[in-house]
């Protein structure tokens, strides 16, 4: 608890002081050493898993009844080791193509670790006892650091800290879902009408959020 209180106090002064946020996080929560994904990350903190979660009400087409406003929710967790490129401050997590589920996450942070500059998260997976399949994808920029809880570091935008006039980082949200016996990826049961119109729906959803968790 004392670590979290101290972090809350210090985080507000990070940019003014010119410090690296990840250095502060590392000092307070004890970042690890040795990284199975290819080297410690920003500030020497070693992360082992990333979870990208979001919830947005969007226009979704249902093949038999037409367009309806539905909640597009996904929680996409990385599978396998994280690779970190020091030169570009980019994390990449990808398991074998053809796996079920198959996940590819690419995240680039700024040098201070205070902001996610770019994120592309994709998942294809079976569900419904293997009889259904779905695809989720989000592409977004400019997601600020939010907090540390235990060994996890969070970046987040939500209804309480964004509006149509202050944040325009969401460029793409795709969702497709289909019965393997009746439909195909090209003609699914459900699909987002316009994945590139996600920002407008995000602005209008009172319960919207995008959250990225880095786990040590």
Region for residue 2 given its phi and psi (left: phi exceeds 0; alpha: psi -120 to 50; beta: otherwise): alpha
HSE value, Cβ hemisphere, 13 Å, CA-based, for 58 = 26
Taking residues 132-136, report their average pLDDT.
98
- pLDDT tens per residue across span 155-186: 999 998 887 678 999 999 999 999 999 999 99
pLDDT at 68 over 60: yes
What's the predicted TM-score (pTM) here? 0.82
E strand or H helix that includes residue 14: helix 14-17
């Amino acid at each position: 608890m004392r670590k979290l209180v101290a972090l809350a106090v210090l985080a507000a002064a990070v940019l003014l002081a010119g410090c690296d946020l990840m250095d502060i996080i590392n000092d307070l929560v004890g970042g690890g050493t040795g990284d199975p994904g290819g080297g410690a990350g920003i500030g020497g903190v070693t992360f082992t898993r990333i979870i990208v979660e979001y919830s947005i009400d969007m226009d979704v087409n249902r093949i038999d009844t037409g367009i309806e406003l539905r909640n597009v929710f996904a929680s996409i967790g990385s599978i396998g080791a994280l690779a970190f490129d020091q030169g570009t401050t980019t994390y990449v997590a990808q398991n074998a193509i053809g796996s079920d589920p198959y996940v590819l996450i690419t995240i680039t942070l700024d040098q201070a670790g205070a902001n996610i500059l770019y994120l592309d998260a994709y998942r294809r997976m079976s569900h419904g006892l293997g009889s259904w399949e779905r695809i989720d994808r989000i592409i977004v920029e400019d997601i600020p650091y939010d907090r540390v809880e235990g060994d996890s570091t969070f970046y987040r935008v939500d209804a309480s800290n964004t509006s149509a006039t202050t944040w325009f980082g969401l460029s793409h949200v795709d969702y497709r879902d289909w019965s393997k016996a009746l439909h195909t990826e090209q003609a699914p049961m459900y699909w987002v009408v316009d994945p590139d119109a996600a920002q407008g729906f995000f602005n209008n959803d009172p319960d919207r959020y995008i959250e990225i968790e880095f786990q040590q």
